[in-house]
Amino acid sequence: MATTSVAGAIRDAGLPCYGIHSLAPEYLRKTAQARLARDAFPPRHICEAMAYRDRLFVHGEKCLYISLVRDPIARNISAFFQNLHLRSDQIRDEKDPQSMFEIFKQSYNHSLPITWFDREFKEQLGIDVFEYPFDHAKRYVHIESKNVILFRVDCPDAVKARVLSRALGRKIKIRRKNDSDNKGYAKLYKRVKEEACFSPDFVDEIYSTKFARHFWSEEELQDMASEWKNGRVRPSVP
């Protein structure tokens, strides 16, 4: 996925980069405890987040916050399949794309990406990214006063590399990593994406949110909505 590619490029340039999904202490604690209760070690990103939260808030370490934004519907389908190993055996063994799509629709928390910046940036870091205009043409914004860079995933890799190189003072070269086409679930994931067709009310609700209207233009949202309502085949999104 695009986040993995960017993080890998920064590390390849000899700089530290941590893939942190959440800094919310209650979420981190509950997730770690749940894994330990099953005699399993907490995931690496949870351990890194817990360690870095201490460095950030206790020791006041400075950093550059980089986040990538994706069509929330496409992002949720991708995340559902990436975390399929956490689901029940019955769900993991499902091979019918329409049945899997129905499971996704009914069981997934579709608001996760929509509320993420409020939960993580605003509540944890005190940064309201929605106060800063997003350039839909450039597909990124560098909020220098807050040490924040936000990219849309469809921002060209060359542009991402140029912006990051300038901000980090180091040559950054981005290469594709973690492409879902290379995963074991690739065929089923592809078919679900191709056949996915949501109700107009669902799609309109997602794309009328503050999150969607901030990062995409009205015209872009109309095009995105049309695809999900009509169930058109879509090319893979990085």
Tell me the pLDDT tens digit for each residue of 112-141: 999 999 999 999 999 999 999 999 999 999
User: 21-73 pLDDT, tens per residue?
Assistant: 899 999 999 999 998 998 989 888 899 899 888 888 877 788 999 999 999 99
SS3 141: strand
Residue 65 sits at φ, ψ, to 5 deg, of -95, 120
User: Sign of the C-alpha dihedral, residues 21, 228, 196, 156?
Assistant: negative
Confidence of residue 224 (pLDDT cuts 50, 70, 90): very high
Residue 67 sits at φ, ψ, to 5 deg, of -140, 145
Place of tokens 């400075």: 62
CA–CA gap between residue 237 and residue 70 (Å, rounded): 9
Rounded to the nearest 5 degrees, what angle is found at the Cα of 212, between the Cα atoms of 211 and 215? 85
52, 44 contact by CB (below 8 A): no
Q: Tell me the whole-structure pTM to 2 decimals.
A: 0.87
Rg of the chain (C-alpha set)? 18
